[in-house]
Each structure stands twice: as C-alpha cells, then as structure tokens.
Structure 1
C-alpha cells in the first residue's frame, strides 16, 4: 500500500486568543478610561490660577467630560454592534489618548476643554469591552470576565484619586495627563495585538436622527443637573434646560419606536429584566458616587469643627484606594453567586451591603479607620452589583444588541452619579455652620447624604426584587439561553 505523505500543518490560521489576556487587556482599558473621572479632581481648585480663567469657566473641565461621555456611550455601543466592537473600542481609546496629550500640551482654557471632551468620548470602552467578552469568551469564563470588566468603572474611580493626588503634589500638573496619555496609548497597542474582532454584527443603517436627538436631550438634562447649583435651580436657564430635555427625550422616544433600525431598541429596553436592571444601575451609580463626594469633604474639613479630620487630598485618596481593591475582589465572587443562585440575587445582596455601609457611616465618621471600613463595605456591595448588572442585561437581549444594551446601562449609572453630585452639592450648600466667618458644611449635612445613599441602595434592592425569578444564563459565544431569536441577530461581517 503506497505511503501517503502527511500534509504540512496549516499555518495560515491564527491561534485562538488567550482568554486570560483578552480579559486582562479589556479590564485594563476600562480602568484607564474610568481614571479620567478622578484624574482632574486634585487640581480643580487650582485651575483658575493654572489656566488664568475664572472658576465658572474652568468648571467646564469637569462638565465637558461628563457631557461628552453621556453622548458617546450609547452611540459607541450601537456603532460597535453595527460595524465592529473592536473597531469602536480602538476609536474610543484613541480619543482618550489624544485628549490626554492635548491637555498635557495646554496652558489655557480652550485646549483643556477640548482635551477633556476627547477624554469623555472614550466612555464607551466599558460597554464595548463587555460586548466583546460576550462574543469571544467561553461560557464558563463569561460571568467572571464581565463582572471584572463592569467593576473596572469603580476600580479606576477609586484608584485614580490617590494616584492623581500624589502626582499633583509632587510633580507639574501636566504630568497627570502625560501619564494618562501613555496609559491610553499602551491600552490601544494591547488591544491591537491581543483582542480579536468579533464577527457578530447587526449591519444596517445608523440612526443619525436618533443619535442627534438623544445627544440633545442628554446634554440638556445633564447640563441642568451639573450646572443648576451655579446658575440657580429656579433660574430660567436651568428650568428651560429641564423642560427642553423632557420635550426632546419624549419626542426622541416616539421617533425610536417608529423607526425600523433605532439607535436604542426601546421595546427591548422596556422588557422587565432590562428595565429594572437599568433603574437599579442608576440607583447604584448614585450610591457609589455619593461616597466619593462625601469622604473628601469630610476628611479635609478642619478638626476644629468637631467632625472634620483635617487631612490633605493625598490622605483622602489613600482612604478611598482600598475600595477599588475590594471592588476587584468582589466582582469575580459575584459571578460565582450568580451562577449558583442567579444574578438577581447577587444584585440584591450588593444592594443590602451598600445600604449597611451607609448606615454604618452615619455612626462611624469620626476617625480615618471609620471611613476606610465604610468605603470597603460599600466597595464590596458595588463589586457584587456591578458584576451582576451586565449578566442580567446580556441574558435578556439578543446578541446583536449587546453593545447598545450595555451602553444604556452604563449611561444610566453615569446619570445616577450626576444626580448624586447635584443633590450632594445642594445639601452641603444649604446645611452649613459658621466657622471663622466662612460657611462650611455641617455635620448633619453629611449624615443626610449618608441616609440618602442608604435609601438609594434600598431603592435598588426594591427594583431588583421586581426582576423575573427565572434563572438567566448565557451560553457559549454569548447566545442568551432564554433570549428570543431576532431577524438580524448574529449577522456575520
């Protein structure tokens, strides 16, 4: 019998991606982008002098990022579903890198705002990373991977403050943005080298009018929330923006329900599992950010007030830093609980832990270790919740809508954070004491904020209780085991 030679191995096919590397790179990218939330905080009081501009104008260095992120998040998610999630992820990382270098090279207000706008446009990284994981991760790795990716928003926010405070205290402020630009560039290179492009696409035509309408409504809403305290909550500008936001978003909703290829599928968003998960995400966004606003003010107030701790910003950052580590530890643990009992119960556990943390804070606020303990407890609850949120979303939507659905959930967490900022600002401005001729926030103002944070967590618990009792699972390559098939789901590029 003649010998048949063995054909040479096929070297044209690339090796499958290493799941551990893909998860590490995507989580790193999420942390880099979430650092942008706290990067500028240490230098905000100094910006008027640094940029030779009034404080009312330099405040746009924060507001611009908030508005750009709100607009970019849902649009990036939808474009990722349509044209490639990795492609949009690279675009987003290019934005944060370019924005960082623009600010690093600036010494005046205009380039600072332009750079911060570009940084805000990178906010779609986390929902895009979640969507890539759904498409590429083995089923047994999906829960822990998405939990870590979702939690990167809290990890970066907590770790960013101590790092930024240390750099701002010891180096020129531009070095903050040189460093963030380098980190953004590194994450960009790592994604190019190690993250595959998902072949799951929806195709179709981008809903440009829907994008413009949603952007206009969100900008009006968040501008009113973020600047209402400066302009006056009863001023014509603030009330006009709120009214415009309501009218535009209602009109946008009617348009989205009637278009054949909407930016956001509101019918899917109205499904109980998606709706209540999104509302719970908004409540958790409020709870997490309320603590990050509360601790810095309380720690930096003079000890002579009787409740202030008289610490500097670096100490504040070191107090909050362990929270990021706790979030990182809790996120994969949450996936194990979700697999055993269902993500609904993981979300409810997270809400209970956060509520306990704020309740403790009402009574434990007079020592540095009190605040470390409270921030770690709340961090654990946030890790559980942020790990459960994407699992609940992805198990309820078609694979072709993963990016858009995750983006809406991420957006609502950001809206919750904006509401926390506005409400806390009002409370500390109204509940004050006279200290040497200066009005400072009173001790009761902090306790009221803690009580509201506890209430927001209990609201999230109530909303989670309305989630369906059925067990939701996601099978290999991101197909929801209980999601209906759709006509355009799973189109290949």
Structure 2
C-alpha cells in the first residue's frame, strides 16, 4: 500500500515490516547489556581482577561506541545507511558471540570493543525510519523504540542474575547470540537501502 505525505511516496506495508525490526533491536541490546551488570562480580572473580579493572568491560564498549556512532553516521550518508547498519550490526553480533568464549580478561575487552562498534545501529536505524517511513508514523515508531529500552532493562536485570547464578556469566552472551544472529538476518532481509546518499569525504 502506497501513501503520499509531504510530496513523497512511502510504502506502508514495508514500513510496518521494517518497524518490527527496528523496534526489537533495542530489546536485544538492553537484554545483552543489562544482563552483564549482575555478572560483573563473577567476571571479576573468574579472571582474578580488581573492581577498577572489571569496570573496563562496560567502559571500553561505551568508548568504542561513541566513536563508531560518528564514524558510521558519516559513512551511512556516503555509502548508504542500510549497508552501514548491517556492518555495525555485524560487529555487534560478532562481539556478542565471541564474548562468551573469551579465554582471558584482555580478550574479553577486545571482543567487547568489537561489540561497541555496534552502537552505531541506533542513529542509523533512526535515519532509516525518518527516510523510509511516512512522517505520520515516525513519532510513534521512535516512541516504541525508546519504550523497548525500558522493557529490555526490566527483563534483563533479574534474568541476567538468574542466568549468571545458575549457568555462569558466559551464558548471558550465549543466550543472546542466537537472537543477535536472527536480528541480523531479519535486517538484511527486510530493510531497504536509504533513498538519500551524499558522497563525500570522512572528516
């Protein structure tokens, strides 16, 4: 079904399918990140490190993510937002898979850094929503995305504590990995490339 808003034509059926993908993404991310919080003491004990060191598990993810948001945003403008979205989501998925198999604390930091590149998925997802969704749908979808952050937090904190206590911290990632792979496949299959590309140089 085609709709015309503000002089642009939008595919409403596509928007509804794409909405399913972008709304579930924050649930996956918050599930993964919030489950980590109750697992930090167990990680500290396993690798025999102090509380300051274990905090880097969170910090390095945020540091790399901050850089990746700016970098992938610019590359998305230049080469297509879906393409960069899939690359960022690929980094996130790879990091989630590798985290659970990290043989040392140093290796865990490396895989967390890889996962951090995936933080760029959110600004890219918002850009795809603004470009490909009818303007009347955009506030609703953005509100749903924001709400899913809270839902993910509420679910993941008690679940993460239960998984860590009964199966070990590595299973917080093992349990998330299939969902990350599924989200990558759905994004690749459903999302369309952005309609606006602005070739240029990375500043």
TM-score range (shorter-chain normalised) is 0.7 to 0.9
1:106 has 2:106 as partner: no
| Partner Cα separation in structure 1 for residue 44 and residue 193 of structure 2 | 44
Of residues 66, 76, 86 in structure 1, which corresponds to 2:72? 76
| Corresponding position of 1:149 | 145
Report Cα offsets for 1:226-275 as digits up to 9, x if no partner: xxxxxxxxxxxxxxxxxxxxxxxxxxxxxxxxxxxxxxxxxxxxxxxxxx
| Partner Cα separation in structure 2 for residue 168 and residue 201 of structure 1 | 44
Q: Which segments of 5 or more consecutive residues in structure 1 lack a partner in the other structure?
A: 1-14, 208-493
| Corresponding position of 1:399 | none
1:57 has 2:58 as partner: no
| Partner Cα separation in structure 1 for residue 67 and residue 161 of structure 2 | 29
| Partner Cα separation in structure 1 for residue 61 and residue 25 of structure 2 | 17
Between Structure 1 and Structure 2, how many residues are aligned? Answer: 193
Aligned ranges 1:328-367 → 2 under 5 Å: none
**Distance 1:70-1:130 versus aligned 2 partners, 3 A rule:** same
The answer on whether the counterparts of 2:88 and 2:118 sit within 8 Å (CA) in structure 1 is yes
| Partner Cα separation in structure 2 for residue 91 and residue 23 of structure 1 | 19
1:201 has 2:200 as partner: no
The answer on whether the counterparts of 1:76 and 1:88 sit within 8 Å (CA) in structure 2 is yes
| Partner Cα separation in structure 2 for residue 84 and residue 35 of structure 1 | 28
| Corresponding position of 1:66 | 62
Moved over 6 A (4+): none
1:125 has 2:133 as partner: no
| Corresponding position of 1:173 | 169
Instruction: State the 1:111 CA deviation.
Output: 1.4
Instruction: State the 1:139 CA deviation.
Output: 2.7
Q: Which segments of 5 or more consecutive residues in structure 2 lack a partner in the other structure?
A: 1-10
Q: Which structure would you say has the larger RCO, counting Cα contacts within 8 Å and 6 or more residues apart?
A: 2
| Partner Cα separation in structure 1 for residue 26 and residue 85 of structure 2 | 10
CA RMSD of aligned residues (A): 1.9
1:115 has 2:111 as partner: yes
- Structure 2 length-normalised TM: 0.86
Give 3-state SS (helix, strand or coil) of 2:153's partner.
helix
Asked which structure has the greater CA Rg, the reply is 1
**Distance 1:107-1:52 versus aligned 2 partners, 3 A rule:** farther
**Distance 1:75-1:34 versus aligned 2 partners, 3 A rule:** farther
**Distance 1:20-1:80 versus aligned 2 partners, 3 A rule:** same
**Distance 1:35-1:130 versus aligned 2 partners, 3 A rule:** same
**Distance 1:152-1:129 versus aligned 2 partners, 3 A rule:** farther
The answer on whether the counterparts of 2:42 and 2:169 sit within 8 Å (CA) in structure 1 is no
The answer on whether the counterparts of 1:79 and 1:88 sit within 8 Å (CA) in structure 2 is yes
Aligned ranges 1:447-486 → 2 under 5 Å: none
| Partner Cα separation in structure 2 for residue 16 and residue 193 of structure 1 | 17
